[in-house]
């Protein structure tokens, strides 16, 4: 059943104006990252699965930053809640944005990022089929601390009491409010205006709407979710870590189910946006982030961090390699201890070894740079050997310049290539050469002076030292 057109009477509102006081942070709560992605983005991704007619984001604390983060997302309406007087007040500030809208509205909390698409869809179905004025998503948990409690009378929801306002008996209630609701839009905003800020925090509590509706005889339903993790809210750094861990476990489980070996899921950090093909092996202590794709049959060793990179098939990345925005073709080998900076492009069967740094550089197919080297702004052809300790001097203090090394060239160890400069096809550069001028194809470039040998020098040195020692001793006796 296609959900698109059927869902078109659904409007969504996401509350994201709060400061997140309990995080003790200079950054607004909804901007904190959960498994690598700002938590508000997780929530908006789930909201989008309903193909809503409209999505309104209530912003307040650091509104400009939140808006800037979400600027690339289509179809969002932002409303400003200033000052932030509570969740009821937050929803009321969306009134103008929803003027004239009919049907139902689903309210999501910007700090509850684990909600699954499946649960949200059955919640919407439940609300629709019951015809209630409001439906509250709830859960029965072992430790209800910090959440609003669902107070029932004759089994029906009567009201929601916040932790701070709860009596000792109410604190014992283990059914909690998830902060996710569905509302009939009809009469909603008028009812919100009846909420009073008479409570421990002097805030306008959205959950108070439940008691107001009950008093007015409007139907309020609940839906209990079975998987408690889905409705975990983030209020503290500890909860931020808990929710991140759960999200990462989900990602790891998905990858393993699709044929990826993860040796130690507990120490493997893979963002939701990453794709990895079957038969790749991920060793412990690896981070794979952002828009990274990894092909089949790769092996990623411990301590590697990969960000926004594209990796082909059968690539081996040895320990403690770091790469950002790099492209690696199939069958290449990288590391250990390599650093691939943005726009590094490694060809098929190429090899990059320890303490080699590449930036904005193409290393052609079958080429090797295995030890202690900096290659920046360079275009290196195929089957080139770059010796240990090679450095492209790409920066003259003002501008960056390009180094070109053509196919089959051999760069001896301890070479400096002062850009702009070109080494032609199959040319050789002798060890210790400072290349300041182009090297023609097939030529040998050497810049160091002729070597001089001083015969018997070592023996003379020992003799000199002994004489010096004798002199100081006799001086001491006087």
| 222 scored as a contact of ligand UD1 (CB under 6 A) | no
Residue from 38, 113, 207, 335 that binds ligand UD1 (CB under 6 A)? 207
Nearer to Ca ion, 18 or 353 (CB): 18
For ligand UD1, which is the closer residue by CB, 102 or 198?
Answer: 198
Among 7, 136, 176, 375, binds ligand UD1 (CB under 6 A): 176
- Contact segment (CB under 6 A) with ligand UD1 among 82-90, 307-315, 357-365, 403-411 equals 82-90
Cβ closer to ligand UD1: 59 or 340? 59
Active site residue 371: yes
15 binds, among Ca ion, ligand UD1, none (CB under 5 to 8 A by kind): ligand UD1
178 binds, among Ca ion, ligand UD1, none (CB under 5 to 8 A by kind): ligand UD1
- Residue 175 site contact among Ca ion, ligand UD1, none (CB < 5 to 8 Å, cut-off depends on kind): none
According to CB under 6 A, which residues from 4 to 33 bind ligand UD1?
15-18, 29-30
Q: Whole-number minimum distance, CB 12 to Ca ion, in Å?
A: 18
Give the footprint of ligand UD1 on residues 91-110 (CB under 6 A): 109-110
Q: Considering the rule CB under 5 A, would residue 233 count as an interface residue with Ca ion?
A: yes
Residue 113 contacts ligand UD1 per CB under 6 A: no
SS (H, E, C) the chain: CCCCHHHHHEEEEEEECCCCHHHCCCCCHHHCEECCEEHHHHHHHHHHCCCCCEEEEEEECEHHHHHHHCCCCCCEEEEECCCCCCHHHHHHCCCHHHCCCCCEEEEEECCCCCCCHHHHHHHHHHHHHHCCCEEEEEEECCCCCCCCEEEEECCEEEEEECHHHCCHHHHCCCEEEEEEEEEECCCHHHHHCCCCCCCCCCCCCHHHHHHHHHHCCCCEEEEECCCHHHHCCCCCHHHHHHHHHHHHHHHHHHHHHCCCEECCHHHCEECCCCEECCCCEECCCCEEECCCEECCCCEECCCCEEECCEECCCCEECCCCEEECCEECCCCEECCCCEECCCCEECCCCEEEEEEEEECCEECCCCEEEEEEEEECEEECCCCEECCCCEEECECCCCECCEEECCCCEECCCCEEECCEEECCCCEECCCCEECCCECCCCEECCCCCCCCCCCHHHHHHHHHHHHHHHHHHHHHC
What residue ranges bind ligand UD1 (CB under 6 A)?
15-18, 29-30, 58, 60, 81, 84-87, 89-90, 109-112, 147-148, 160, 162, 176-179, 205-207, 233, 235
Residues marked active site are found at 371
What residue ranges bind Ca ion (CB under 5 A)?
111, 233, 235
């Amino acid at each position: 059943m296609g959900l698109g057109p059927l869902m078109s009477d659904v409007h969504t509102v996401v509350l994201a104006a709060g400061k997140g006081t309990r995080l003790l942070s200079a950054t607004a709560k909804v901007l904190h990252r959960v498994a690598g992605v700002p938590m508000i983005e997780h929530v908006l991704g789930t909201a989008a699965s309903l193909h809503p007619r409209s999505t309104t984001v209530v912003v307040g604390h650091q509104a400009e930053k939140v808006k800037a983060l979400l600027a690339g997302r289509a179809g969002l309406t932002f409303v400003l809640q200033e000052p932030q007087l509570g969740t009821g007040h937050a929803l009321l500030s969306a009134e103008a944005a929803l003027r004239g809208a009919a049907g139902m509205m689903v309210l999501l909390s910007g700090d509850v990022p684990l909600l699954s698409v499946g649960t949200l869809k059955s919640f919407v179905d439940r609300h629709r089929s019951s015809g209630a004025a409001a439906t509250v998503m709830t859960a029965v948990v072992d430790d209800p601390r910090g959440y609003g409690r669902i107070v029932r009378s004759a089994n029906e929801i009567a009201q929601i009491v916040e932790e701070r306002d709860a009596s000792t008996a109410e604190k014992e209630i283990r059914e909690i409010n998830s902060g996710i609701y569905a509302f009939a839009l009809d009469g909603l905003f008028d009812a919100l205006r009846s909420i009073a800020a008479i409570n421990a925090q002097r805030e306008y509590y959205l959950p108070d709407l439940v008691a107001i509706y009950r008093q007015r005889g409007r139907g309020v339903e609940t839906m209990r979710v079975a998987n408690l993790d889905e409705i975990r809210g983030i209020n503290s750094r500890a909860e931020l870590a808990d929710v991140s861990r759960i999200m990462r476990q989900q990602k790891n489980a998905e990858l393993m189910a699709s044929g990826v070996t993860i040796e130690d899921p507990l120490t493997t950090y893979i963002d939701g946006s990453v794709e990895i093909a079957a038969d790749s092996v991920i060793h412990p202590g690896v981070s794979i982030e952002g828009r990274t794709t990894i092909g089949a049959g790769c092996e990623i060793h411990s301590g590697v961090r990969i960000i926004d990179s594209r990796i082909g098939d059968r690539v081996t990345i040895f320990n403690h390699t770091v790469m950002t925005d790099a492209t690696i073709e199939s069958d290449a080998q990288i590391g250990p201890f390599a650093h691939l900076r943005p726009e590094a492009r490694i060809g098929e069967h190429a090899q990059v070894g320890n303490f080699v740094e590449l930036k904005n550089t193409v290393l052609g197919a079958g080429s090797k740079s295995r030890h202690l080297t900096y290659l920046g702004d360079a275009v290196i052809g195929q089957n080139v050997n770059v010796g240990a300790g090679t450095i492209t001097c790409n920066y003259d203090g003002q501008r960056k310049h390009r180094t070109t090394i053509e196919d089959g060239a051999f760069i001896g160890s301890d070479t400096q290539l002062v850009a702009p400069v070109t080494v032609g096809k199959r040319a050789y550069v002798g060890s210790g050469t400072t290349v300041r001028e182009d090297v023609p194809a097939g030529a040998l470039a050497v810049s160091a002076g002729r070597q001089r040998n001083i015969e018997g020098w070592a023996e003379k040195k020992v003799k000199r030292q002994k004489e010096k020692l004798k002199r100081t001793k006799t001086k001491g006796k006087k």
